[in-house]
Structure 1
Amino acid sequence: MQLGDGSALRRIAARATAMAGGLAMAVVTGLAVAPAVHASPSATGALRWAPCDGPEKSGAECATLSVPVDWAHPNGPTLDLAVARRKATEPGARVGSMVFGPGGPGDSGVQMVVGNVSRFSPEVRRRFDIVSFDPRGVGAGNPVTCSTALLAERPSPVLKSQADFDATLAYNKRLRADCRARTGPVFDHLDTAQTVRDLDALRVALGERKLTFHGSSYGTLLGAQYAETYPRRVRAMVLESVIDHSVPTTLDFLHAEAATAQDSFQEFVKWCGRAADCALHGRDVHAVWQGLLARAGRGELEDPARPGTSMSSSDLVNKIAFRKFYQADYAGLATAIAGMEASKPLPASPTSVAPLPTATPVFCSDWHLPVRDYRDYASLVTMMNTTAPDLPHLLPLHMTAACLGAPTANPQHRLDVHGAPPILVSNALHDPATGYPWAVSVARQLGRSGVLLTYEGHGHGSVTSGPCMENSVNSYLTDLAVPPRGASCPAVPF
Structure 2
Amino acid sequence: MPHFVRTLGAVLAGAALMFSGTPGPGGAAIGWAPCAGDRTAECGSLRVPIDWARPDGATFGLAVARRKATDPRRRIGVLVANIGGGAGTGFVQAEAGAYFGKEILARFDVVGIDPRGTGGSRPVRCSADIVRKEPIPDPRDQADFDRLKAYAAELAADCRRRTGPVADHLDSLSVARDIDAVRAALGEPTLSYHGVSAGTLAGQHYAELFGRRVRAMSLDSVIDHSLSTGQLLLGQAANAEDAFGAFARWCARDRACVLHGRDAGRVWDGLMARADRGTLRDPALPGRVLSALDLATEAHLGGLMEPSYRWLAERMASLESGRPGPRGVVRGQPGPEVREIEHPAPATCQDWRLEIPDHRRFAAYAERMRRVAPHLRTQPDTQAFALACAVWPVEPGNPQHRLRIGDGTPPILLINARHDPAAGHGWAVSVRGQLGRGAALVTYEGGGHGVYQRTSCTRRVVDDYLLLLRVPVAPC
Q: Structure 1 length normalisation: TM-score?
A: 0.83
In the other structure, the counterpart of 1:414 is 402
In the other structure, the counterpart of 1:426 is 415
Could you tell which deviates more after superposition, 384-393 or 225-234? Answer: 384-393
Q: CA deviation at 1:43?
A: 6.3
In the other structure, the counterpart of 1:290 is 269
Q: Distance in 1 between matches of 2:30 and 2:124?
A: 24
In the other structure, the counterpart of 2:338 is none
In the other structure, the counterpart of 2:428 is 439
Q: Are residue 53 (structure 1) and residue 36 (structure 2) matched? A: yes
Please state whether the residue corresponding to 1:449 is helix, strand or coil: coil
Please state whether the residue corresponding to 1:113 is helix, strand or coil: helix
In the other structure, the counterpart of 1:456 is 445
Q: Are residue 133 (structure 1) and residue 122 (structure 2) matched? A: no
Q: CA deviation at 1:333?
A: 2.2
Q: Distance in 2 between matches of 1:429 and 1:344?
A: 34
Q: Distance in 1 between matches of 2:283 and 2:222?
A: 32
Q: Which runs of 5+ in 2 are unaligned?
A: 7-23, 325-329, 335-340
Give the one of 97, 113, 125 matched to 2:78. Answer: 97
Give the one of 225, 237, 248 matched to 1:258. Answer: 237
Per-residue CA distance 1:186-223 (angstroms, 9 max, x = gap): 11101011111101001112221101101111111111
In the other structure, the counterpart of 2:384 is 398
Please state whether the residue corresponding to 1:334 is helix, strand or coil: helix
Give the one of 347, 351, 363 matched to 1:378. Answer: 363
Please state whether the residue corresponding to 1:279 is helix, strand or coil: coil
Alpha-carbon contact 2:124-2:342 (below 8 Å) kept: no
Alpha-carbon contact 1:154-1:353 (below 8 Å) kept: no
Q: Give the partner amino acid of 1:256.
A: G
Q: CA deviation at 1:283?
A: 2.2
Q: Which runs of 5+ in 1 are unaligned?
A: 1-17, 23-40, 346-350
In the other structure, the counterpart of 2:4 is 20
Q: Distance in 1 between matches of 2:224 and 2:94?
A: 29
Q: Which fold has the larger relative contact order, with Cα–Cα distance below 8 Å and residues 6 or more apart in sequence?
A: 1
Q: CA deviation at 1:128?
A: 1.2
In the other structure, the counterpart of 1:3 is none
Per-residue CA distance 1:332-391 (angstroms, 9 max, x = gap): 32233334444459xxxxx99968981122221001121132211110111122222322
* Residue 317 to residue 58, structure 1, CA distance change in 2 (3 Å): farther
Alpha-carbon contact 1:263-1:430 (below 8 Å) kept: yes
Q: Distance in 2 between matches of 1:290 and 1:480?
A: 47
* Residue 237 to residue 290, structure 1, CA distance change in 2 (3 Å): same
Please state whether the residue corresponding to 1:409 is helix, strand or coil: coil
Alpha-carbon contact 1:443-1:452 (below 8 Å) kept: yes
- Percent identity, please: 45
Alpha-carbon contact 1:429-1:435 (below 8 Å) kept: yes
Q: Distance in 2 between matches of 1:441 and 1:447?
A: 10
Q: Are residue 185 (structure 1) and residue 171 (structure 2) matched? A: no
* Residue 399 to residue 338, structure 1, CA distance change in 2 (3 Å): same
Q: Distance in 2 between matches of 1:63 and 1:100?
A: 16
Q: Are residue 215 (structure 1) and residue 215 (structure 2) matched? A: no
Give the one of 99, 119, 122 matched to 1:142. Answer: 122
Give the one of 270, 273, 276 matched to 2:255. Answer: 276
Q: Give the partner amino acid of 1:449.
A: G
Q: Distance in 2 between matches of 1:316 and 1:58?
A: 43
Could you tell which deviates more after superposition, 474-483 or 226-235? Answer: 474-483
Give the one of 285, 301, 306 matched to 1:327. Answer: 306
Q: CA deviation at 1:121?
A: 2.5
In the other structure, the counterpart of 2:56 is 75
Per-residue CA distance 1:387-442 (angstroms, 9 max, x = gap): 22322461111122222143111011111111201111111111111111111111
Alpha-carbon contact 2:63-2:113 (below 8 Å) kept: yes
